[in-house]
Structure formats: structure tokens, C-alpha cells
Structure 1
């Protein structure tokens, strides 16, 4: 039993690393990464493919060419800046799609699988800067591999049982668990720390791409106003907007010079 406990502790310690460079916003937290990047991306891609198939079946996958072109243009500019945080990211197999839905929501699954719900754009009447702020935040989750980290946290909850099962020759973790973890990683709220990281990295991506990072604050104000008595889906997976707006405003001085530099280069 002592050997098994020691093995469990060693596995957890050895699986801690950081997935990104710190950037101007200084995100440096070490993360628990028990699940391989390949497994995380495979499960996320399967989830994303099912979502596309579901929306395509009812004619709700990219039905508005102009809207889709706008979202993809903004995504292209943001993706071009991802190398600041990890050199491999610009070369990922990125996908960007708009899902016709009244939901106020968006996400970027592991490996760069982006989905933006049309309701987010239309109901909030987002400017390009505001849409870039939302997408930058979601891309930041993928850069930090927060879904992989969430999957690892779920696996860690099962690891003690899995180690015992392995020791007793009872089998190991299954693909079903990984697929479940991938779905939960997208649908369930992130921790406050992960959301702060995505906010800060998203600010820097937005600024470097030439979009006004101050729009991140106006997005949250619009989102909160739109919620009424029933908070939008986006707020259910992105909690604590008031505290986060304060943190965003505190980090704006770090990224506004990057925005001015990008705007000057674009002239």
C-alpha cells in the first residue's frame, strides 16, 4: 500500500508543467497534465465533429456566409499571434465555425476547434473588438490546454482507484473516461484561476492582433445586461464577471502599448 501511495504521489508530481510562455501578462502557473495532449485533442476533435454534424443536419452550420467570413477573419488575426505563448500553436489544425443558435456562447476546444454561436454576435451586437475579446479568451483556454488540465483533474480523482486496479490486474482507465472528461472540460465552469489566465492571455492576443483590449470590459457589461433573471450559457461556464472585470482593468496597462504598436504597424 505504501508503494502504491508513493507511486500515486510521484505520478502527480511528475505530471506538473506549464503549457505556455508567460507573455507580457505573466501567466506562469504549473499545471497537472496526466492526460496526454494527443488524447485530449483526439477526444475534443470527436466532440467537435459531433457538434458540427448535429448543427449541419438542421442547416445551422455556417448558414450566413458574411457572418462566418467575419468570424474567421478575426480568428485568423488572433491565431497569428498565438506563437507568442507557444511556437507550435500557429500550426495547429485550427477550425472556425459559426453555429446558428440563440445561445450567448462560444468555445475553443483542445487543438484549436472554435465554435461561435450566432446569438452571441447578434443579440449582443458585438463590434469586431468585442468579438475578438471573446474569441481571444476562448483561444487562450486552448493555448493553456485548460480542457486537458480539467480532464487530468478528473482522471486524478480516479487515479487512486486505477492504480489499485492495475496492481490487482483489474484493468486501467478507458477511452470512455477520457471522452467524458473532454465533454465536461468544455461544458463545465473553469476554476477562477483558469478564467483569470484566459482573460489575461486573451487580452494580450487581442491587443497584439490590433483589436482594442478594452472591449473585454464592454463585452462583460453587455453579457450581464443580457442575462436578466436567467444568466446566459456563457456566464454559467465563465463565472464571477464583476471580479474578472476588475482584474482585466488592472492588466490593461500591460497590453495597451502592444495594441498601440499593432495599430501603428497596420497604418
Structure 2
């Protein structure tokens, strides 16, 4: 039996690879003119960004166009490799919780409920090879890497005594980071800075941000997202979980628990090093709970 349960996507129509420029093609290399054309279009509507679904109940902006500087396929491949290494290390240390363990099954059940509601936020998610693992560790942490690779540490479930609704809020939040491609955007910014070139110069064919960023897959678990990214993930995750039938009020309870944990003892709270808690975060969630309450109620009725 595989130590990690993969959650296969539904069969979908085949499509051409989407390049960082926003066009679909089958591996053709771009000419310098095409790169310049992409640069001129970056600020305009001709470069496609991940659109907010028309029916979305939460108010978030379009995903950053900067992410197009890093090929999604390359980043997802790097994430797959890093995730496989992490799982292998956990297994070799006896820290990987078995797939038939009740807590692992609990995570699988929640993930399967959430995943169908991710596709509208990122079409690529339909073809992701979703996977969920539970790692035995006292760290209070969880993540979802590009391409849908999810891991929870037992510490976040046990120390915070998370309910199913609260786990769904954590998982939805982490899924949202992957769906909104925050890692892809952050690596594009970091890579351009490290190379000492401008983003515009890369698009003009004068730099190598895409290839450089693809080699930075090892940084995926240490990236720090902006406050805007965190707010974005909070709200998108809130809606995904509500549509799956999980109580949106749990998002407020979750962050209250996080805040209390910070006040008492921050040791081992890895999640909070990259997801700081605070009153404004809780207030923003409280303001948005009513907007998705109807989705939650409808989902509960349809069960």
C-alpha cells in the first residue's frame, strides 16, 4: 500500500501547455519578438491572469501577473520532487502516519470534499495529482505545495484540538495559496532580485528568471507570503470550505486558537511563523463569514 494516498483528478479534455506568456502551444520556443510582445502586454488584459469566478462570494483581486515569469509546469515538477523527498524522509524515520490510520483517513475525507471546489479558482487544478500525507511531528504546521501536494503535521491537529471544520479551514487556506500561485509569484520576485535584473529585462530576453526560479524548488517550504497573499488565501479557503459543507464560523475559531497558542507558547508553532495571527485577520474573517454562510447551508442540505 502506498504511504501517501493520491487523490486522482477527474478525466478532463486534453489541452496544450500554457506558457508563462499566457498563450497555449506545444513546446514552441519564443522568439525575441514574442518576448517583447509579452512584456508590452504584461500590464494589459491580453495576458491572462487567474480570474476570480463570477459566482465567487468573497472579494479578492486577480492573481498576480508576475507569476507568468515562472513556468507553472517547472514549479509543479520541482514541488513534486521536494514533496517526494519529504515523504521518503518521513517514512525512513517512521514518522509517516499510515494511510489507514483514522487521522489520515480524516484528512483524506476532508480533502476529497474540498478538491472539486478548487477547479474554478485554477483550471490547472483539474489535472493536479492531489495527494495528502500526515507526518508525526510536534510542529504546528501544514502546507499545500504547487500541484496539490498536501501535508499536515500531527502537532497542528493535536495541540489545537482541531475539529473537522477547523481542519477544512486550514486545508482550504493552504490549497488557496497553491491555487492562487503565490509561490510562483514570490519566486519570480525573488529570482529577479537575486539575478540583479528587472522583470521587464527578462521578458525582453535579457535575463533568465524562469530557469533560475525553476532551480529554486527547495525554497518552496520556506517562502513567506505577503499580508495580501495571506488575506487572499483566507478568503478563498473560506469559500472553498463553505461550499464543501464546512462551517465558516470555524475559520474565526481556528485563528482565535492560533492567537491563544501564540500568547501561551510559540515554541513549535511553525505555522505561525509564516501565517501570523492577529485581531485584524480575525475581524476580516468575521466580516466575510456572512457572505458564504448560505453556501455552507446549501451544502449541508444537499448532503
- TM-score range, shorter-chain basis? 0.7 to 0.9
**Residues 99-248 of structure 1 mapped to structure 2, 5 A cutoff:** 99-157=135-193, 158=195, 160=197, 163=201, 172=208, 177-180=213-216, 182-227=217-262, 228-230=264-266, 232-248=269-285
1:3 alignment partner in structure 2: none
Counterpart contact for 2:248–2:296, Cα < 8 Å = yes
| Distance verdict in 2 for CA 1:174–1:143, change over 3 Å | closer
Residue 186 of structure 1 deviates from its aligned partner by 2.9
1:25 alignment partner in structure 2: 58
SS at match of 2:157: helix
When normalised by structure 2's length, the TM-score is: 0.76
Residue 17 of structure 1 deviates from its aligned partner by 4.5
Counterpart contact for 1:20–1:143, Cα < 8 Å = no
Residue 62 of structure 1 deviates from its aligned partner by 2.0
Residue 145 of structure 1 deviates from its aligned partner by 1.0
SS at match of 1:236: helix
Count of paired positions:
258
Counterpart contact for 1:106–1:115, Cα < 8 Å = yes
Which stretch shifts more, 82-91 or 55-64? 82-91
Q: Which has the higher helix share?
A: 1
Residue 89 of structure 1 deviates from its aligned partner by 1.9
Q: CA separation in 2, counterparts of 1:44 and 1:155?
A: 17
When normalised by structure 1's length, the TM-score is: 0.86
Residue 154 of structure 1 deviates from its aligned partner by 1.4
SS at match of 1:114: strand
Q: CA separation in 1, counterparts of 2:276 and 2:71?
A: 27
Q: CA separation in 2, counterparts of 1:155 and 1:103?
A: 29
SS at match of 1:97: strand
Q: CA separation in 2, counterparts of 1:204 and 1:70?
A: 20
List alignment gaps of at least 5 residues for structure 2. Answer: 1-34
SS at match of 1:18: coil
